[in-house]
């Protein structure tokens, strides 16, 4: 403890937390991120009335509630509705029209990987609504997943504060797609009906039968080391149907050693198509 009674992380504990975070999440931190770790873990220490050494012992059990709290604290990232317009314009004007063509019965499966609190997945649903008008007439599905139990639970509710909805959404969209109850804004059932959330670590073997036409995995890659980046893109390729499309962040790029993808662009938007 310091003179104010706050927990102090030793250099040894810092190294152990860095390795644990990398193993659990793939996030590649170094000793320069001490302040980030301390600021993210301080609420966890307070929640469980623990020291750093006690927390380290508890998180060694991957299924412990302390470990889940640590993962939630570390992986809670910046997100908001329609973050960066380019991917959503690409979806609206190119990807969905190409998939549906004139076939109203075509199945369109979209994934939002590392979905955080759900704004990306619901933004995708809004785009589909704007294109298709009546979602019940089309076979469209959005699967969103994240590594954090807490964030998945929150995202599934589709409930946001006034600040969260006003960040990225016009008054028209808020009025069209949300019900306001006691100062909270909930995504309307029509959109929530096509979005499902589940827990998944995208660095682990896929082990799932569902394949996707489009995967959004944005603003994630830069947190990973070289080896985990390669593993990530291999896993995402396995999750895509032949000819499927991967959309990543504007500042990210693919180091595609396996030759799974070909880079394409459309009106300033870059995306990657899986090699058939």
Measured between alpha carbons, how far apart are the two ends of the chain, in Å? 57
What is the structure's pLDDT at 6?
Answer: 58
pLDDT, one tens digit for every residue, the chain (276 residues): 444 455 788 889 888 888 888 887 777 778 887 887 888 888 888 888 888 988 998 888 766 888 888 887 777 666 889 988 899 999 999 999 988 876 777 889 999 998 888 999 999 999 999 998 888 888 899 999 998 888 899 899 999 999 999 988 999 999 999 999 888 999 999 999 999 999 888 887 766 567 999 999 998 887 788 888 888 888 899 999 999 999 998 878 787 667 889 999 888 788 999 987
Count of other CB atoms within 10 angstroms of residue 265: 9
Q: Is 24 helix (H, G, I), strand (E, B) or coil?
A: helix
The model's pTM is 0.82
Contact 224, 28 (CB under 8 A): yes
CATH 1.10.155.10 domain locations along the chain: 11-75
What is the structure's pLDDT at 44?
Answer: 86
For the 11-75 domain, the top CATH level (class) is mainly alpha
Distance CA 190, CA 179 (A): 12
And the tokens for 160? Answer: 């946001």
What is the structure's pLDDT at 203?
Answer: 82
According to CATH, the superfamily of the domain at 85-274 is Vaccinia Virus protein VP39 (3.40.50.150)
CATH 3.40.50.150 domain locations along the chain: 85-274
What is the structure's pLDDT at 4?
Answer: 46
The residues facing 159 across adjacent strands are 186
The pairs formed by 179-188 with CB atoms below 8 angstroms and a separation of 24 or more are 184/159, 184/160, 185/159, 185/160, 185/161, 186/157, 186/158, 186/159, 186/160, 187/122, 187/125, 187/158, 187/159, 187/160
């Amino acid at each position: 403890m310091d003179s104010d009674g706050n927990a102090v992380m030793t250099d040894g504990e810092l190294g152990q937390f860095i390795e644990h975070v990398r193993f659990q999440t793939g996030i590649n931190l170094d000793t320069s991120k001490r302040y980030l770790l301390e600021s993210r873990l301080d609420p966890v220490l307070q929640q469980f009335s623990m020291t750093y050494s006690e927390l380290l012992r508890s998180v060694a059990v991957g299924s412990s509630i302390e470990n889940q709290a640590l993962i939630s604290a570390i992986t809670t990232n910046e997100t908001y509705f329609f973050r960066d317009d380019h991917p959503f314009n690409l979806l609206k004007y190119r990807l969905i029209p190409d998939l549906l063509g004139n076939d109203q019965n075509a199945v369109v499966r979209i994934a939002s990987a590392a979905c955080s609190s759900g704004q990306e997945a619901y933004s995708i649903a809004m785009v589909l609504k704007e294109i298709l008008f009546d979602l019940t007439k089309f076979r469209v599905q959005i699967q969103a997943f994240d590594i954090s139990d807490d964030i998945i639970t929150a995202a599934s509710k589709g409930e946001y504060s006034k600040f969260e909805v006003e960040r990225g959404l016009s008054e028209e969209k808020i009025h069209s797609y949300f019900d306001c109850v006691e100062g909270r804004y909930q995504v309307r059932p029509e959109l929530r009906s096509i979005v499902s959330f589940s827990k998944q670590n995208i660095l682990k073997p896929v082990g799932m039968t569902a394949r996707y036409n489009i995967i959004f995995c944005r603003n994630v890659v830069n947190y990973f080391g070289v080896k985990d980046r390669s593993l990530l893109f291999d896993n995402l390729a396995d999750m895509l149907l032949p000819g499927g499309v991967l959309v990543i962040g504007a500042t990210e790029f693919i180091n595609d050693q396996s030759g799974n993808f070909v880079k394409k662009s459309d009106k300033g938007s870059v995306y990657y198509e899986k090699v058939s």
